[in-house]
């Protein structure tokens, strides 16, 4: 783990299972209003990370890239929901605005794949995670928080990594 800035974090995941475990740590902390913006090429591990996030958050619903429906909704026992959006097929920020992210965020955390495609309409604060394919089993993950809440999330993730994933 290389710490580039005091609040940003780089991590190299050595397996899909490890990416899921890190996602679980993040998912367990998420609250309505939290935005997790995922960036990175096809196959870089975004959906795998979301599988962990949904599990850690407390849902047993199956996770897949919401490529055709734009937004997947994962439910858990207490009735709360987690939103999982894929911006890949959105024509642009205007279409993203129609989704009314603000209303979604009032009731749930929101995880977005290909978030860089709708950067203009995302809230200023949030956690960006950039994925990079290294080889068949390894992915670099760069965590970049914007705002104090996201910095707290990264601090906790860093502690989880130091304790061993």
Ligand X SMILES: Nc1ncnc2c1ncn2[C@@H]1O[C@H](COP(=O)(O)OP(=O)(O)O)[C@@H](O)[C@H]1O
State the Cα–Cα distance between residues 49 and 155, nearest whole angstrom.
18
- 46 binds Mg ion per the rule CB under 5 A: yes
DSSP at 119? G
Residue whose C-beta lies closest to Mg ion: 47
Local structure of 56: helix, strand or coil: helix
The kind and range of the H/E element at 106 are helix 101-107
Phi, psi dihedrals of residue 151, rounded to the nearest 5°: -65, -40
Tell me, residue by residue from 82 to 121, as one string, x for binding to ligand X by CB under 6 A and - for no binding.
Answer: -------------------------------x--------
Nearest alpha-carbon partner for 99 in 114, 87, 113, 116: 87
- 65 binds Mg ion per the rule CB under 5 A: yes
Give me the least distance between CB of 77 and ligand X, in Å please. 26
Tell me, residue by residue from 18 to 57, as one string, x for binding to ligand X by CB under 6 A and - for no binding.
Answer: xx--------------------x-xxxxxxx---------
Phi, psi dihedrals of residue 85, rounded to the nearest 5°: -110, 145
- 140 binds ligand X per the rule CB under 6 A: no
Site residues (vs ligand X, CB under 6 A): 13, 15-16, 18-19, 40, 42-48, 65, 113, 131, 137-139
């Amino acid at each position: 783990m290389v710490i580039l800035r005091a609040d940003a974090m780089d991590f190299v995941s050595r397996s899909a299972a490890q990416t899921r475990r890190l996602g679980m740590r993040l998912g367990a902390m998420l609250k309505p209003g939290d935005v997790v913006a995922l960036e990175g090429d096809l196959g870089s591990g975004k959906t795998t990370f979301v599988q962990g996030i949904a599990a850690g958050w407390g849902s047993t619903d199956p996770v897949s890239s919401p490529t055709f429906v734009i937004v997947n909704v994962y439910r858990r026992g207490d009735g709360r929901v987690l939103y999982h959006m894929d911006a890949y097929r959105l024509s642009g920020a205007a279409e993203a605005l129609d989704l009314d992210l603000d209303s979604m965020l009032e009731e749930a955390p929101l995880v977005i794949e290909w978030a860089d495609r709708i950067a203009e309409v995302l809230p200023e604060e949030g956690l960006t995670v950039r994925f990079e394919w290294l080889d068949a089993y390894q992915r670099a993950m760069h965590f970049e928080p914007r705002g104090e809440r996201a910095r707290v999330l990264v601090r906790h993730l860093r502690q989880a990594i130091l304790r061993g994933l």
